[in-house]
């Protein structure tokens, strides 16, 4: 099977490498030639391509891993895009995190051209992309999900078909809302402990095994306590996802007051120049308003 893989950023790069390690034949493309060379030099059955057309020409499945909705529309539907060069009946697996409405729009165009699509955004950030343990949330039909499932099993620790096209991204937005609120609550609680005079590191150790404990806490509390905000998932990208969540909520008349508040916090951090930090840098918002830090 030949797999066309388009988008070799922070997430796409390790995802592609894991497919190569598993023995898949990849035709890869990215607007950044250095990213293409990085994956191509990792070994395996890989062809570095100079265009989208070249990457998808022989592919049975095309995977796209792109920043946001506009890039997905451009790469798949734009001039020189996937829709113009993929073989009939090719399955397009968009693993980007985009607006659900855009996923539905793109799928409709592809279907009218004799192609198929599922939306399959992921959660877990760069560490889980590297480990091949991403959580993959899929929207589409069972037959197409089953066809892509062996690839999902290489890239992820779980892959769940949650509904029709667009449902994968609805699920991802739900995930991103919950993660953002968890990070904000974690930062707020830790800063309360610090400001009130407790040993914040010991507070974390004491509560992580209780009801407040979570995967988010275990991953992000150490980063906050160390002041280590090297990105696994950037504030800028989480803002993008929360924007999509708020737009989707508006379209279905669902108020998201807590999400809107966290969005303002993220925008404050971005305005201070921390958009490229990990989303655990929400702690910086509390540094600003409390005038203290959790680390030396």
Q: Where are the alpha helices (DSSP H) in the chain?
A: 12-21, 33-40, 52-56, 69-77, 82-85, 100-112, 125-131, 142-155, 167-196, 200-207, 215-226, 235-251, 257-269, 283-290
Q: Which two tokens stand for residue 167?
A: 């449902």
Please give the structure tokens belonging to residue 212.
Answer: 């407040």
Residue positions counted in the chain: 296
Structure tokens at 52: 């989208």
Active site residue 270: no
- The catalytic residue among 17, 128, 172, 270 is 172
Phi/psi of residue 276, nearest 5 degrees: -85, 0
What is the DSSP code string of 121-153? -EESHHHHHHHT-EEEEEES-HHHHHHHHHHHH
Residue 154 has which token pair?
């290489």
Is residue 116 within 8 Å of residue 84, measured between CB atoms?
A: no
Q: Which residue has the tokens 């905000």?
A: 229
Active site amino acids: 172
């Amino acid at each position: 099977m030949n797999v066309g893989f388009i988008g070799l950023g922070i997430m796409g790069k390790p995802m592609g490498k894991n497919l190569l390690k598993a023995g898949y034949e990849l035709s890869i493309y990215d607007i950044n030639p250095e990213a293409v060379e990085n994956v191509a030099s990792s070994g395996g059955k890989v062809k570095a391509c100079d265009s989208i057309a070249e990457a998808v020409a022989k592919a049975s499945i095309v995977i796209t891993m792109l920043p946001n909705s506009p890039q997905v529309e451009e790469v798949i539907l734009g001039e020189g895009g996937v829709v113009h060069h993929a073989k009939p009946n090719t399955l397009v697996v968009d693993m980007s995190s985009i607006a659900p409405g855009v996923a539905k729009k793109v799928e409709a165009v592809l279907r009218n051209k004799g192609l198929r699509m599922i939306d399959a955004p992921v959660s877990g950030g760069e560490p889980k992309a590297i480990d091949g343990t991403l959580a993959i949330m899929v929207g589409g039909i069972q037959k197409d999900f089953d066809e892509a499932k062996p690839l999902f099993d290489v890239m992820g620790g779980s892959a769940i078909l949650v509904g029709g096209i667009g449902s994968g991204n609805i699920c991802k937005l739900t995930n991103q809302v919950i993660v953002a609120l968890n990070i904000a609550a974690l930062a707020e609680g830790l800063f309360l402990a610090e400001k009130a005079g407790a040993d914040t590191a010991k507070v974390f150790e004491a509560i992580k095994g209780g009801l407040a404990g979570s995967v988010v806490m275990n991953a992000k509390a150490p980063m906050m306590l160390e002041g280590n905000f090297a990105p696994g998932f950037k504030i800028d990208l989480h803002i993008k996802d929360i924007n999509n969540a708020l737009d989707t909520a508006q379209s279905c008349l669902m108020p998201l007051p807590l999400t809107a508040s966290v969005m303002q916090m993220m925008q404050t951090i971005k305005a201070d120049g921390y958009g490229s930090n990990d989303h655990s840098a929400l702690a910086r918002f509390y540094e600003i308003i409390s005038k203290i830090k959790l680390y030396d």
